[in-house]
């Protein structure tokens, strides 16, 4: 089918007019030679002059539905009050244009899609002006576009997008449409849009995965073994099958699923199944056993070199042995624990499967379910709902696989909802990161040498199956330690990729979070030993290396805005951290007071962020504030432990997250450097654990190197809720 | 067992297992999906509804205890099609992120304001015990203060 035929067919099929076309993004075409051609159908216009924008990215609270459609509507010249949005299905047109994979995560959406969707929208706008030019017999360059209308230069004639769309769809898409300069942006850049998903989220009408209803649908509940990797050895479902409403009990390897007319019936039935689980392949390990794997790696395993600058051994050898200090930092095992438990609705009908899923990994769901069912990828339709939190967990497809297999077994559409206990104990986790550093200082306080060793299991492999450039280095595990901004002459970073009998994966802040906790605390330690205040010590080290202007700027700004002081002011103490992550620069100050029994009051967190350009100040600030709370949960409260070969914690009483009374006030200041867009969603938490630990050091002289602080350092917070 | 409940002003007579948590009665029998399942143990508050004027965590309340009760869910807060002042404050402050826990927060906040029309920060600390994984707490606090400023007398 040629392109025009495709456009006509699409127009008929959609009952409107689809501006779909092929184009080569200039940058990709220029740098990569022959590039794949994307056929796009992002923008639809109906005769009544509504513009429908297809959203490729999962809305999980980051406001992407609003910002993405605002970028497109702005460039197109659409009337914001006549814009509708719909979620994409899986198609090449909706893949991340830089990574060629359809997913939402890594604070990647705006960074990767901005120029792609702007170009799409500009081309659509030129097709609309082209149609008006043909109609009126004038040169398209004389025409003006605003609020879903095209106007002629004299202001005599106007035509709506709706009137022009059918003719526009027949115009060849311009390969190099002219983008609006930033000064002409109206919907992004200066204004904070009210988020388009908020009304439905305050009146209860927003449809999350758990709210999906399909005709003839039945409900499923699932239990898993406590031990990770155990399978069903024996199962007696006779009692469960006799219970009211029960349709079937489906054994699925490491899961038993009960299917019933009502969800509560399924919950009761699955609890009534008697299951004997096999011994897990890794045995009944516990936290001590897992900790010993890290210790053994430090003692005996080979390390890969990530960074080597100068001669660290020689640098250290210039100091006396008693001047060489060694420290160890540790970030804990974590669950994502989004408020909406894993769930998926599936309908397997012969060799076709339809899913309704709250997923960050729409293409992953399609691929994995197709492979599981042994059907072509194109036979799997993945409808995306709102996500009740993602944080990385919903990049993988395990919940979709269980729902699809259950539907195939009972031959009905099935909504499968995990219990919170299942969600927490049968997941893939952000593993513990342990960093060790050896360092010594010269007379002038600068490091004479610094050796860093990091041990962590993979976090990238489960979400990105491609091979690593160096098989021994997971690039996300070493994030930020592979590009330390501080000018340290003799430095090395080495990494050991640890094997553990626990499924691991990315979680919000990926490897940057734990590594920045370590690095930013360590820099504070160096400053303390050097007798220099942490702010000026950072400045001095940053000025020793080229290219740190943006980082220095956010550091200076946060110090000014927060009133940072290395010593207590009015009983308040301050901790500082800064860095680069996800393409953005940040600096953060935590302000707190501490009583002698280590009870802390968190007063204020100030963040300064340079993400290149701020497309929506309100949404960006909310995202940073949200990240601050995430960072505080990680630093203070959250940790998983292991017993009997599985996760000990099973709900929010054991796996603690920050509560309202503990939450400090936040303020965020942006520097608009007009540089390339950086990420936002992952940035807010990055400095928090380090800044918090540094603030506690400033207040107490105690250097806390193991997270979470409540569990390992005896820290309390005032006003914490007693949930248990 | 036979259960009679009034939900958002509508009477319902149901015949079901009295041990069924109110949450699943609301969601699956009455189709009111705004009330959410988060933890199943009354820890997170995503399932909060009003029962005879009190906030309850419906995931942990067998429906037999609600027999004869008057219940309000997030869907029942509008009056004459207009958002409740608390919902409007939530829009004005742009509180939600993922939004999943927000109906529970809003039900807790409306109940707090019904009892304490001008709550202090301390009142809010003691009353709003819901969990939000996205970390919207600061805007929740602001929105409650905003609603307190504009709330009509109960």
Residue B80 lies in a domain: no
Q: Do B69 and B32 lie in a common domain?
A: yes
For residue A720, what pLDDT is reported?
Answer: 57
Q: A589 forms bridges with which residues in the sheet?
A: A576, A606
Contact B20 A208 (CB under 8 A): no
List chain B residues with CB under 8 Å of A389: 98, 100, 133-134
What tens digit of pLDDT does each residue of A451-479 get? 999 999 999 999 886 789 999 999 999 99
Residue B15 lies in a domain: yes
Token representation of residue B144: 């409650």
**Residue A162 CA from chain centroid, whole number:** 37
Q: Do B71 and B90 lie in a common domain?
A: no
Q: Where are the alpha helices (DSSP H) in A468-616?
A: 512-530, 534-543, 549-562
The bridge status of strand A599-610 relative to strand A665-670 is: parallel
Q: Do B9 and B71 lie in a common domain?
A: yes
For residue A352, what pLDDT is reported?
Answer: 98
List chain A residues with CB under 8 Å of B43: 651-653, 723
Can you say whether residue A108 is alpha, beta or left, with left for phi > 0 and alpha for psi between -120 and 50 degrees?
alpha
Rounded to an integer, the average pLDDT of A519-541 is: 98
Can you say whether residue A106 is alpha, beta or left, with left for phi > 0 and alpha for psi between -120 and 50 degrees?
left
Contact (CB, 8 A) for A334 and A630:
no
User: Which of B75, B105, B126 is the last residue in one of the domains?
Assistant: B75
How many structural domains are present in chain B?
Answer: 2
Give B104 or A6, the one with higher predicted confidence. Answer: B104
The bridge status of strand B54-57 relative to strand B48-51 is: antiparallel
Using CA atoms, how far apart are residues A523 and A579, in angstroms rounded to an integer? Answer: 11
Q: Do B97 and B141 lie in a common domain?
A: yes
Rounded to an integer, the average pLDDT of B68-74 is: 98
Contact A202 B95 (CB under 8 A): yes
For residue B150, what pLDDT is reported?
Answer: 66
Q: Do B98 and B71 lie in a common domain?
A: no
For residue A8, what pLDDT is reported?
Answer: 31
What tens digit of pLDDT does each residue of A348-403 get? 999 999 999 999 999 999 999 999 999 999 999 999 999 999 999 999 999 999 99
Give A39 or A66, the one with higher predicted confidence. Answer: A66
For residue A721, what pLDDT is reported?
Answer: 52
For residue A315, what pLDDT is reported?
Answer: 97
Q: Do B90 and B130 lie in a common domain?
A: yes
How many of the other CB atoms lie within 10 Å of CB of B45? 25
Is residue A452 reached through a cis peptide bond, with omega within 30 degrees of 0 on the bond before it? no
Best mutation target, B44, B134, B140, to test chain A (most A CBs within 10 A): B134
Q: Which residue of B has its CA nearest to A681?
A: B134
ipTM of the complex model: 0.97
Q: Do B97 and B64 lie in a common domain?
A: no
What tens digit of pLDDT does each residue of A145-192 get? 999 999 998 888 999 999 998 889 888 889 899 999 999 999 999 899
Percent of chain A predicted with pLDDT > 70: 93
Residue B114 lies in a domain: yes
Q: Which residue of A has its CA nearest to B21?
A: A264
Contact (CB, 8 A) for A65 and A84:
no
User: Which of B24, B49, B75 is the last residue in one of the domains?
Assistant: B75
The contacts of residue A322 (CB under 8 Å, 6+ apart) are none
- Give the orientation angle of helix B85-92 with respect to helix B137-150, to 10 degrees: 130
Q: Do B68 and B6 lie in a common domain?
A: yes
Residue B116 lies in a domain: yes
What tens digit of pLDDT does each residue of A243-252 get? 999 999 999 9
- Give the orientation angle of helix A512-530 with respect to helix A534-543, to 10 degrees: 110
Residue B64's domain comprises 2-75
> How many helices and strands, by DSSP H and E, does chain A display?
19, 28
Using CA atoms, how far apart are residues A525 and A543, in angstroms rounded to an integer? Answer: 19
What tens digit of pLDDT does each residue of A17-55 get? 333 333 323 323 333 333 222 224 799 998 889 999 999
A14-18, A411-415, A661-665, B109-113: which range is least confident on average?
A14-18
Q: Do B68 and B93 lie in a common domain?
A: no
Rounded to an integer, the average pLDDT of A332-341 is: 98
SS3 string, A435-472, reads EEEEEEECCCCCEEEEEEEEEECCCCHHHCCCCCCCCC
Q: Do B89 and B70 lie in a common domain?
A: no
How distant is the Cα of A348 from the closest Cα of chain B, in angstroms?
Answer: 22
List chain B residues with CB under 8 Å of A218: none
CATH number at residue B8: 3.10.20.30
User: Which of B75, B107, B127 is the last residue in one of the domains?
Assistant: B75
Q: Which residue of A has its CA nearest to B63?
A: A264
The contacts of residue A623 (CB under 8 Å, 6+ apart) are A62, A63, A680, A681, A683, A684, B97
For residue A32, what pLDDT is reported?
Answer: 33
List chain B residues with CB under 8 Å of A665: 138
How many of the other CB atoms lie within 10 Å of CB of B58? 28
Q: Do B67 and B42 lie in a common domain?
A: yes
pTM, two decimals, is 0.94
Token representation of residue A429: 């986790």
Residue B36 lies in a domain: yes
List chain A residues with CB under 8 Å of B101: 339, 388
Using CA atoms, how far apart are residues A411 and A250, in angstroms rounded to an integer? Answer: 12
For residue A35, what pLDDT is reported?
Answer: 25
For residue A175, what pLDDT is reported?
Answer: 86
CATH number at residue B131: 1.10.150.120
Q: Do B70 and B10 lie in a common domain?
A: yes
Residue B70 lies in a domain: yes
For residue B132, what pLDDT is reported?
Answer: 98
For residue A16, what pLDDT is reported?
Answer: 28
Query: Domains in chain A, start-ordered, CATH in brackets?
Result: 3-188 (3.30.365.10), 216-281 (3.90.1170.50), 288-331+429-717 (3.30.365.10)
Q: Which residue of B has its CA nearest to A618?
A: B94
């Amino acid at each position: 089918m040629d392109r025009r035929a495709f456009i006509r067919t699409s127009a008929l099929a959609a009952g409107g007019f689809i501006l779909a076309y092929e184009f080569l993004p200039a940058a990709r075409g220029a740098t990569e030679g022959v590039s794949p051609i994307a056929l796009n159908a992002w923008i639809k216009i109906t005769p009544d002059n509504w513009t429908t924008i297809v959203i490729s990215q999962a809305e999980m609270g980051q406001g992407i539905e609003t910002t993405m459609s605002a970028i497109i509507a702005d460039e197109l010249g659409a009337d914001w009050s006549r814009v509708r949005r719909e979620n994409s299905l899986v198609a090449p047109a909706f893949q991340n244009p830089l990574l060629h994979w359809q997913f939402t995560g890594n604070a990647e959406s705006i960074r990767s899609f901005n120029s792609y969707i702007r170009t799409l929208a500009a081309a659509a706008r030129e097709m609309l002006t082209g149609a008006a030019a043909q109609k009126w017999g004038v040169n398209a360059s004389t025409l003006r576009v605003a609020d879903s209308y095209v106007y002629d230069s004299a202001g005599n004639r106007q035509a709506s997008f709706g009137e022009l769309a059918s003719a526009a769809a027949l115009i060849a898409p311009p390969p190099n449409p002219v983008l609006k300069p930033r000064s002409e942006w109206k919907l992004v850049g200066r204004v904070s849009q009210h988020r388009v998903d908020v009304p439905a989220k305050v009146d209860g009408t927003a449809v999350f995965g758990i709210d999906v209803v399909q005709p003839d649908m039945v409900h499923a509940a699932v239990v898993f073994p406590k031990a990770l990797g155990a399978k069903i050895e024996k199962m007696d479902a006779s009692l469960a099958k006799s219970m009211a409403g029960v349709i079937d009990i489906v054994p699925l390897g490491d899961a038993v699923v009960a299917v019933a007319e009502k969800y509560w019936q399924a919950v009761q039935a699955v609890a009534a199944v008697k299951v004997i689980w096999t011994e897990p392949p890794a045995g009944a390990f516990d936290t001590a056993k897992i900790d010993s794997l890290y210790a053994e790696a430090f003692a005996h395993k080979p390390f890969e070199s990530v960074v080597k600058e100068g001669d660290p051994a020689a640098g250290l050898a210039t100091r006396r042995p008693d001047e060489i200090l060694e420290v160890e930092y540790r970030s804990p095992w974590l669950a994502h624990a989004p408020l909406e438990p894993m769930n998926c609705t599936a309908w397997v009908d012969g060799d076709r499967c339809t899913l309704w899923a709250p997923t960050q990994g729409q293409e992953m769901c399609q691929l994995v379910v197709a492979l599981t069912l042994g059907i072509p990828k194109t036979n799997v339709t993945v409808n995306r709902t709102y996500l009740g939190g993602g944080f990385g967990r919903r990049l993988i497809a395990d919940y979709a696989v269980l729902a699809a297999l259950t539907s195939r077994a009972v031959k009905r559409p099935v909504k499968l909802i995990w219990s919170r206990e299942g969600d927490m104990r049968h997941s893939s986790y952000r593993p513990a990161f342990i960093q060790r550093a050896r360092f010594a200082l010269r007379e002038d306080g600068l490091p004479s040498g610094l050796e860093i060793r990091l041990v962590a299991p993979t976090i990238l492999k489960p979400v990105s199956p491609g091979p690593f450039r160096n098989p021994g280095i997971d690039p996300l595990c070493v994030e930020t330690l592979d590009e330390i901004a501080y000018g340290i002459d003799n430095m090395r970073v080495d990494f050991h990729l640890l094997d553990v009998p626990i499924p691991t994966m990315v979680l919000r802040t990926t490897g940057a979070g734990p590594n920045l906790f370590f690095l930013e605390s360590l820099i504070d330690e160096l400053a303390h030993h050097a007798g220099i205040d942490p702010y000026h010590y950072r400045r001095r080290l940053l000025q020793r290396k080229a290219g740190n202007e943006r980082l220095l700027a956010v550091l200076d700004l946060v110090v000014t805005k927060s009133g940072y002081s290395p010593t207590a002011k009015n009983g308040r103490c301050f901790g500082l951290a800064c860095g680069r992550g996800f393409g953005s620069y940040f600096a953060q100050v935590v302000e707190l007071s501490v009583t002698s029994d280590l009870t802390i009051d968190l007063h204020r967190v100030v963040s300064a962020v340079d993400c290149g350009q701020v497309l929506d100040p309100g949404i960006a600030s909310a995202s940073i504030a949200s990240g601050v709370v995430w960072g505080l949960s990680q630093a203070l409260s959250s940790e998983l432990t292991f017993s009997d070969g599985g996760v000990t914690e099973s709900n929010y009483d054991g796996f603690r997250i920050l509560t309202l009374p503990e939450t400090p006030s936040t303020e965020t200041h942006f520097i608009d450097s007009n540089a390339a867009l950086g990420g936002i969603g992952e940035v807010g938490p990055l400095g928090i654990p380090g800044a918090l630990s540094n603030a506690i050091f400033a207040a107490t002289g105690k250097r806390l190197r193991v997270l979470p602080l409540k569990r390992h350092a005896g820290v309390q917070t005032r006003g914490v809720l007693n949930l248990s | 067992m036979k259960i009679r409940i009034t939900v958002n002003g509508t009477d319902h007579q149901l015949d079901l297992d009295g041990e069924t948590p109110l949450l699943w009665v609301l969601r699956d029998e009455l189709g009111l999906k705004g009330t959410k399942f988060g933890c199943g143990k009354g820890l997170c508050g995503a399932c909060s509804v009003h029962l005879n004027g009190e906030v309850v965590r419906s995931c942990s309340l067998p429906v037999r205890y609600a027999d004869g009760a008057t219940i309000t869910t997030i869907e029942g807060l509008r009056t004459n099609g207009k958002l409740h002042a608390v919902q409007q404050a939530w829009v004005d402050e742009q509180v939600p992120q993922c939004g999943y826990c927000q109906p529970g927060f809003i039900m807790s906040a409306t109940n707090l304001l019904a009892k304490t029309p001008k709550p202090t920060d301390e009142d809010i600390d003691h009353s709003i015990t819901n969990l939000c994984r996205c970390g919207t707490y600061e805007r929740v606090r602001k929105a409650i203060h905003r609603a307190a400023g504009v709330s009509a007398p109960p």
